[in-house]
Amino acid sequence: MTRDEVRLIRTRLAVLAAVLVTLWSYAAYVSSQDAIDLLRVRALADTLGQPIDRLILGLQTERRITVETMAGAEQTTPALVGAREGTDRAAAEIREFTRGRDLRLLSAGTVRERAGELVRRLDGLGTTRSQVDTGRLDQGAAVGGYDEVIDVAFRVYGPEWGAYESGLAADTRAVIALARARESLARESLAREDTLVSAALTGARFGVDERRRLTALVSIQRYARTEAAAGLPPDGQAEHQRLATGPEFAALLALEDRLLQAGTANALAGLTIQGWRAATDAALGALQALVTNTARSSVERATPDAAVLIARTGAVVGLGLIVVLVLLLSWAGTVRRLTDELTSTNADLPAPVPDTSAPAQEPATPGATPSGSCSWG
């Protein structure tokens, strides 16, 4: 085999190796997308989803107690101090998330940006509290300040919580990106409704504007709960239906209908803060329990599929890499063997004998005169 033939074989094997590595890389990328997506969704749910839920719940409670305190013309109460401490504990978890560097969230940079914006809004919450305590903020402005922070908290949720279209991620996303967000919207609408009515029951004005706002909030809350149910898995839908027709919402629905049907002048007649508080607390607690239970059920249902997914990804990435390396080493050995054979063949050939013979010289003729000389007789 000549040197040119060995060089040609080496080039062809190099091309085959490049094609093989490219195909393996593509197969590994496709196979790992589901696993990466699952890790991101689970990481977001654990490290950010639960703290966001606790923060929104804390802000909602603090907003209601703040408005009740302002409506009653009271100073800062122990209940308000406790609510602020609960909000601050949840806010500390969000700050910890923005400072962390979880490798599972390398593809969730947009979520970090929105969480960072939420932290900046939380940093300004102290100003709102200070203005409330010193009486420099009216009730509407105070509610608006809390509403803005809560709206930013809702916007942390997004498509990154399950962006890749896989069957496993879709089931998890139904709870995290759809159910949690929409149930949270229903809960937030109910919480704003609760704040409005609680303030009126503790002395705030309840006029035409407040009644119009209450009507809108009740409509949004009921619509959001209906829409959220459509995106839940079957067991979640059954639980949602049981909740909607159960005692947790029965008292609230009756009070809402009463408030909407009564005239503005006597809308609050016969309604006590204790009765309203009992009805809304039961409904809010049931909504929170629904989101938590459905999320837990989704995780349990996804666990077997996750094990299969991880095994499949490991087989493609791990075993595929082993096969690629074995083939590459085999081809490298083949090239080395051909090169050695070519070198050995060249070494066994007899060395060429150099031609050391000199051109023959003509014998000198006696008495001859060298060329170029002359004789002077």
Q: What is the pLDDT of residues 231-265, one digit of tens each?
A: 666 766 777 778 778 887 888 888 888 888 877 66
End-of-domain residue from the set 161, 193, 221: 161
Provide the pLDDT confidence category of residue 135 given band limits of 50, 70 and 90: confident
pLDDT above 90 coverage of the chain, percent: 11
* Structure tokens belonging to residue 212: 């119009």
Is 19 part of a structural domain of the chain?
no
Of 18, 282, 38, nearest in space to 165 by CA: 38
Q: Amino acid identity of 96? A: E
- Judge whether 62 and 122 are in contact, CB under 8 Å: no
Q: How many domains does the chain have?
A: 2
pLDDT at 158: 65
The answer on 196 and 304 residing in a single domain is: yes
Residues 304-355: pLDDT tens digits? 555 566 666 666 666 666 776 777 777 677 767 766 666 666 555 455 555 5
Is 360 part of a structural domain of the chain?
no
Q: Taking CA 63 as the corner, what is the angle to CA 58 and CA 65, rounded to the nearest 5 degrees? A: 95
Between residues 176 and 341, the one the model is more confident about: 341
Is 37 part of a structural domain of the chain?
no
Query: Could you give the 3-state DSSP secondary structure of residue 106?
Result: coil
Range(s) of the domain holding residue 324: 166-338
Provide the pLDDT confidence category of residue 84 given band limits of 50, 70 and 90: very high
End-of-domain residue from the set 134, 161, 188: 161
The answer on 170 and 144 residing in a single domain is: no
The answer on 174 and 144 residing in a single domain is: no
For residues 158 and 293, give the distance between their C-alpha atoms in angstroms, rounded to a whole number. 21
Q: What is the rounded average pLDDT of the residues 54-82?
A: 86
The answer on 301 and 179 residing in a single domain is: yes
Between residues 295 and 289, the one the model is more confident about: 289
The answer on 331 and 206 residing in a single domain is: yes
